[in-house]
Structure 1
Amino acid sequence: MSAPIAIIGTGIAGLSAAHALLDAGQEVRLFDKGHGSGGRMASKRSEAGDLDLGAQYFTARDRRFLDAIQKWRDAGWVEEWDPALYQYRDGALSPSPDEQPRWVGTPRMSAITRALLHDLPVTFSCRITEVFRGEQHWQLQDSEGQNHGPFSHVLIATPAPQAAALLSSAPKLAAAAASIAMEPTWAVALGFAEQLQTPVQGCFIQEGPLTWMASNRCKPGRSEHMDTWVLHASSSWSRQNIDKPKEEVIEHLYGAFAEMIGCAVPAPVFALAHRWLYARPLEPRQLGALNDADLGIYACGDWCLSGRVEGAWLSGLEAARRLLEHI
Structure 2
Amino acid sequence: MTHIGIVGAGAGAAAAAFTVDGAVPDADVTVFEKSGGLCGRAATRRHGDLTYDYGANYLKSDDERVVDLITETVDDEGLVDISQPIHVFDADGAVSPGRDGDEHKWSYRRGLTQIAKRLFGETDATVHRRTRIETLRRAGDRWEVDDADGATYGPFDALLLNPPAPQTADLLRSAEWESPVREALVDAVGDVPYRTIWTAVLHYPFALDVPYYGLVNTDKAHPVGWLSREECKPGHVPDGESLLVVQANHEWSVDRYDADPAENVAALAGHAADIVGDERLTDPAWTDHQGWRYAQPEGGVDRGPIDSARREGLYLLGDWVAGEARLHAALANGLDVGERVAYGI
Deviation at 1:47, TM superposition (A): 4.1
AA aligned opposite 1:280: Q
Q: Map 1:176-215; keep pairs closer than 5 Å.
A: 176-206=188-218, 207-215=221-229
Deviation at 1:84, TM superposition (A): 4.0
Equivalent pair of 1:289/1:300 in contact (CA under 8 Å): no
Residue 249 of structure 2 corresponds to residue 248 of structure 1: no
Q: 2:69 corresponds to which residue? A: 68
AA aligned opposite 1:319: V
Q: 1:123 corresponds to which residue? A: 128
For residues 277-319 of structure 1, give each alpha carbon's deviation from its aligned partner in whole angstroms, at most 9, with x where no partner exists: 1110012458499341332111111001212112111221222
> Structure 2: where are the runs of 5+ without partners?
none
Distance 2:170 2:62 in 1: 32
Q: 1:276 corresponds to which residue? A: 292
Q: 1:139 corresponds to which residue? A: 144
Equivalent pair of 2:28/2:125 in contact (CA under 8 Å): no
Distance 1:318 1:290 in 2: 13
Distance 1:15 1:31 in 2: 12
AA aligned opposite 1:309: L
Q: Map 1:159-170; keep pairs closer than 5 Å.
A: 159-167=164-172, 168=175, 169=177, 170=182
Distance 2:61 2:301 in 1: 17
For residues 136-190 of structure 1, give each alpha carbon's deviation from its aligned partner in whole angstroms, at most 9, with x where no partner exists: 4311101111111221110011100111122233333222211111111011100
Higher relative contact order (CA 8 A, sep 6+): 2
Q: 1:16 corresponds to which residue? A: 15
TM-score, normalisation: structure 1: 0.91
Q: Percent identity?
A: 28
Deviation at 1:269, TM superposition (A): 1.0
Q: 2:96 corresponds to which residue? A: 94
Distance 1:21 1:114 in 2: 16
AA aligned opposite 1:105: Y
> Structure 1: where are the runs of 5+ without partners?
none
Deviation at 1:265, TM superposition (A): 1.5
CA shift in 2, pair 1:192/1:288, >3 Å:
farther
TM-score, normalisation: structure 2: 0.87
Deviation at 1:236, TM superposition (A): 2.1
Distance 1:140 1:313 in 2: 24
Deviation at 1:198, TM superposition (A): 3.3
AA aligned opposite 1:144: D
Distance 2:21 2:75 in 1: 21
